[in-house]
Amino acid sequence: MSVPPERRERLSRAVAGEGLDQLIVADGHDLRWLTGFSGTSGLALCPADPAAPGLFVTDFRYVEQAGEQLGDGWTIERARRDLLGAGLGEATGGRELGRVGFDPGQVTVAQLADLTEALGTTAELVEAPGLASRLREVKDEEEVERIGAATRLADEALESVLAAGLEGRTEREVAVALELAIIGAGAESLSFPPIVAAGAHGALPHAEPRDVRITAGEMVTIDWGATLDGYCSDCTRTFAVGEVGSREREVYGIVNDARAAGIAALAPGRTGREVDASAREVIDAAGYGEHFGHGLGHGVGLDVHEEPRLSPRGSTHPLEEGTVVTVEPGVYLPGSFGVRIEDLVVVTGGEPLVLTSMDRELVDAG
């Protein structure tokens, strides 16, 4: 995937807007967004001047790959030592760097000490949290297409697993079958290990699959995702296995209504907190508020969990057109069952675009 030059220009403007001369970009997802580099060892030094060449530092293993993946405007340097430290010091050659921003969430205390020593008096290190990652919130058309393709692949993979039914299979067997189906369909990886949780195990929001067989009358929650061309998908569905009780159906309907309310609230100008409240009110009004203990959703892109956050303590800045988020309300009843229904949605100037295609009504997957 070629990287549009506007990304570098946008980041340079953000760097200048913070009164910085340079920004260290060390997070792998930020690097891929900015430069197209998909390796696991690299960092970029992005100057405030969009016309000035940026510096990309990597080690011997990735020099050739960086040369193939990075576009114009980057000077590639090979480091022989730790990149966030002596390696960057070698690559900059002692030249004056000015005010250099770094994301404190991406740099350890030890690395900061190494950076301070390596750059010495050539740089004033300044905390600049989230400066690069915030720009990733709004996706361009190609990014939305790639997330949509990953979503379609993942949906089709689960459909193929469900064709054999769930009853009698263990949670782990279903999870492994889903992993194989996703990779077999052409994904480069899974977005995260699948969650398959039946019966009372479904009351754990992040349950791990067990060697326990799924039986008739249970609710089964499956949370899964694929990574394709670097971009992730994320979806959850809760299924019935045969006939389930009236309370299970009631709770499913409440959660599904909350999902619909959350999606309807997605619009440019709304905040993550406001969207969360729109869905949470539905569950609160039904008397299950204490059983919905997590946020409504989060951004998805090169990382499966990124900004913005839709939660009571989530993002307060306005959502923008092109933001891709999950909407995933849930109700979890300890010792009984859980229900979570999750769609992946694009904020648009009109009606939100739902990327997830699977049925939202309660399906018998026995």
Q: Are 202 and 341 in contact (CB under 8 A)?
A: no
In angstroms, the CA 57 to CA 42 distance is 6
Q: Are 142 and 6 in contact (CB under 8 A)?
A: no
Q: Are 195 and 147 in contact (CB under 8 A)?
A: no
Nearest to 312 by CA among 255, 274, 264: 274
Span 302-314, mean pLDDT? 95
With 80 as the cut, is the pLDDT of residue 81 above it? no
* pLDDT tens, residue by residue, 159-171: 999 999 999 999 9
In angstroms, the CA 292 to CA 259 distance is 12
Q: DSSP of 151-184, one letter per residue?
A: HHHHHHHHHHHHTT-STTSBHHHHHHHHHHHHHH
Report phi then psi at 296, rounded to 5: -70, -30
Q: What pLDDT score does 85 carry?
A: 84
Q: For 38, how many CA atoms within 13 A lie in the half-sphere containing its CB?
A: 11
Q: What pLDDT score does 145 carry?
A: 98
Domain 5-136 is found in CATH 3.40.50.12160: no
* pLDDT tens, residue by residue, 320-364: 999 999 999 999 999 999 999 999 999 999 999 999 999 999 999
Domain residue spans of the chain = 5-136, 138-354
In residues, how long is the chain?
366
Q: Are 294 and 256 in contact (CB under 8 A)?
A: no
* Topology classification of domain 138-354: Creatine Amidinohydrolase (3.90.230)
* pLDDT tens, residue by residue, 222-271: 999 999 999 999 999 999 999 999 999 999 999 999 999 999 999 999 99
Q: Tell whether the torsion through CA atoms of 8, 150, 62 and 82 is positive or negative.
A: positive
Average pLDDT, the chain: 96
Range with the largest mean pLDDT of 66-80, 305-319, 338-352: 338-352
In angstroms, the CA 267 to CA 278 distance is 12
Q: What pLDDT score does 309 carry?
A: 96
- Residue 331, Cα to own-chain centre: how many angstroms? 22
Residue 1's pLDDT band (boundaries 50, 70, 90)? low
